[in-house]
Chains A and B, each alone.
Chain A
Amino acid sequence: MSTYDKPLPELTEDNRPFWDGLRERSTLTMQKCDACGHIRYPIGRICPECLAPGGTWTGLSGRGEVLSRIVFHQVYNKAFADDVPYNVVLVQLDEGPRMFSNVVGVPNEDVRVGMRVRLHCDPVTAEVTIPRFVPEEP
């Protein structure tokens, strides 16, 4: 694990609950606004809908649908040289937010727009567990 050479998130006070949720509880955790209920992503100090500060870190189901799917053949970062071709997906989470990720465990050609997916936690370092996805029904 110490040789992991791909980009890693910079852990800060603002985003630590997101990464702790993945590492400690295998749960996707996002901020839910206490005033309007909007679940926001990316992580931020105020709600982009109503501007209320703070919010409550809330565990999500980790389930969603692939909105778009692309496959990288070009190597933009040498650390991914052995991974190409690899997919990146835009996932619509059931609770509302969207995020980028990868669908793992199936060939790229089997990853399709509209397919249901669920969270798959991938611990890549002692501190960081990257949220990826697998098909909901194997």
Chain B
Amino acid sequence: MSSLKAESLKDRAAIVGVGKTPQGKVPGSTQLSLATGAFTAALEDSGLDKSEIDGLLTFPGTTAPEGPLNYLRVAETLGIDPAYTGSMSMGGGTAGALVQMAAMAVANGMATNVACVFGDAAKTGGSRFNRASGWGDSWGIWGMMGAAANSAIAASRHMALYGTTSEQLGEVAVACRRHASLNPDAVMRKPITIEDHQASRWIVEPLHLLDCCLISDGGVCVIVTSAERARARDLKQPPVFISGMGQAYTSRTLERPDWWYVPHQKDALDRAYAMAGVGPSDIDVAQLYDNFTISVLLWLEHAGFCGVGEAGPYVEGGRIQLGGDLPVNTAGGNLSESYMEGWLHIVEGVRQLRGDGGERQVDGAEVCLVTGRGMTLNCSNAMILSKDGLK
């Protein structure tokens, strides 16, 4: 119904600046200092002047005391009077949702240069990732709590239905760590083996420690501008075009029998593919949201790289490593680069398409898939980024 209108957004916006702070444990940092540090870095990267930033979208993360009023605090600190602003909290789904919101804003003239900003002092500031799931922590009565539980539910059923193994989950961890070893900015750089993965302690069975993402301090900023401005080529960096965008949500965690499989992710991907006019065979490199290893397997199935239930065998033999058929999370992902709730997935997508990947560059990368997902598997989105826009 709405697909014709959505397609009009293809290649109407571009990412022209990305920035990040040091990652991992950043003593003395606050959500605000990390957010504004990332903004400054992205502004420098873009070559734009602060006066040109007329849009500001923020994610308060887990440690902003002002919560949903974070946009006011960040704007005050940066001395910006935006034409368009707001904050949104969708956990790992926020980065993609905000960048897509920025793209819609610049495509429709609400703003020209929108900074999407995230900071979180989750490592030093005390994260809230340990709380129980369900509204009002209601699942805590059964001990259903912490961030790993929902993904463990998905992994357990995927294993039971399709024969997926823990070693296959380990392939994802090994691939991300190998890529992080090639990324000087990654938090965890020491290569690991499947044996290391198997020997790591259980967190929530069937997930081992090495199936889990990190908890990190850090900030990330992505600056989105209009295609017209980007094509003028007067900016410091080559633009990376947002060729496809899609989002999909389900809040019906228990009301939907297949919730554990996050089937809405396929809807988000199909919408992004449709806008961009591409399919899985057109993707050169993918940055797939990886709070836990099982997440990558589900994305691979939903994105059509393999069939339902086939992602376990698909990832064997280094297929998702650099040099494989589909390099995934080339900077190390949430699992090994830093847990920036998917924001660094967008940054890495931009780097790959600029050709700035260094040792981890995918040769000739022109089209990158970036996905995000957050909350109790509820919020999902996908973007097709391209080097020159797609015909």
User: What 1/0 mask marks residues of chain B from 124 to 162 whose CB sits below 8 Å from any chain A CB?
Assistant: 000000101011111111111110110011101100110
Q: Are A42 and B202 in contact, CB atoms less than 8 angstroms apart? A: no
A97: chain B residues within 8 A (beta carbon): 254-255
User: What 1/0 mask marks residues of chain B from 178 to 207 whose CB sits below 8 Å from any chain A CB?
Assistant: 000000000000000000000001111110
User: What 1/0 mask marks residues of chain A from 66 to 96 whose CB sits below 8 Å from any chain B CB?
Assistant: 0111111110110010010110101010000
Question: Cα distance A8–B134 when bound, in Å?
Answer: 13
Q: Is B339 an interface residue, CB under 8 A from the partner? A: no
Question: Cα distance A7–B132 when bound, in Å?
Answer: 9
Q: Is B257 an interface residue, CB under 8 A from the partner? A: yes
Given A42-B135, A68-B157, A70-B205, are A88 and B149 also a contact pair (CB < 8 Å)?
A: yes
Q: Is B118 an interface residue, CB under 8 A from the partner? A: no
We find that the number of chain B residues with CB closer than 8 angstroms to chain A is 35
Q: Is B273 an interface residue, CB under 8 A from the partner? A: no
Most buried by A among B135, B139, B143, B203: B143
Q: Which of A41, A90, A99, A108 contacts B153 (CB 8 A)?
A: A90
Q: Are B204 and A74 in contact, CB atoms less than 8 angstroms apart? A: yes
Interface residues in A10-62 by Cβ distance below 8 A to B read 10, 40-42, 48
Given A48-B252, A67-B157, A70-B153, are A85 and B205 also a contact pair (CB < 8 Å)?
A: yes
Q: Are B202 and A71 in contact, CB atoms less than 8 angstroms apart? A: yes
Given A10-B136, A41-B254, A85-B205, are A80 and B143 also a contact pair (CB < 8 Å)?
A: yes
Interface residues in A93-119 by Cβ distance below 8 A to B read 97-102, 108, 112-114
A41: chain B residues within 8 A (beta carbon): 254-255
Given A7-B137, A70-B153, A113-B156, are A101 and B206 also a contact pair (CB < 8 Å)?
A: no
Question: Cα distance A102–B144 when bound, in Å?
Answer: 9
Closest Cβ of chain A: how far from B250's Cβ, in Å?
11
Q: Are B203 and A77 in contact, CB atoms less than 8 angstroms apart? A: no
Given A48-B255, A100-B144, A101-B142, are A76 and B135 also a contact pair (CB < 8 Å)?
A: no
Q: Are A102 and B130 in contact, CB atoms less than 8 angstroms apart? A: no
Q: Are B143 and A71 in contact, CB atoms less than 8 angstroms apart? A: no
| Chain B residue nearest to A69 in the complex (CB) | B156
| Chain B residue nearest to A99 in the complex (CB) | B254
B206: chain A residues within 8 A (beta carbon): 70
Q: Are B260 and A90 in contact, CB atoms less than 8 angstroms apart? A: yes
Q: Is A138 an interface residue, CB under 8 A from the partner? A: no
Q: Are A42 and B254 in contact, CB atoms less than 8 angstroms apart? A: yes
| Chain A residue nearest to B156 in the complex (CB) | A68
| Chain B residue nearest to A132 in the complex (CB) | B142
Q: Are A77 and B140 in contact, CB atoms less than 8 angstroms apart? A: yes
Q: Are A72 and B204 in contact, CB atoms less than 8 angstroms apart? A: yes
Q: Which of A74, A86, A98, A114 contacts B257 (CB 8 A)?
A: A98
Question: Cα distance A112–B205 when bound, in Å?
Answer: 13
B252: chain A residues within 8 A (beta carbon): 48
Q: Are A40 and B255 in contact, CB atoms less than 8 angstroms apart? A: yes
Q: Which residues of B contact A (CB under 8 A)?
A: 130, 132, 134-146, 148-149, 152-154, 156-157, 160-161, 201-206, 252, 254-255, 257, 260
- Residue contacts A-B, CB under 8 angstroms, 11 given: A48-B255, A67-B157, A68-B156, A70-B152, A70-B206, A77-B145, A88-B144, A88-B149, A99-B254, A100-B139, A102-B142
> What 5 A-B pairs come out closest when comparing CB atoms?
A7-B140, A113-B160, A71-B205, A73-B202, A70-B152
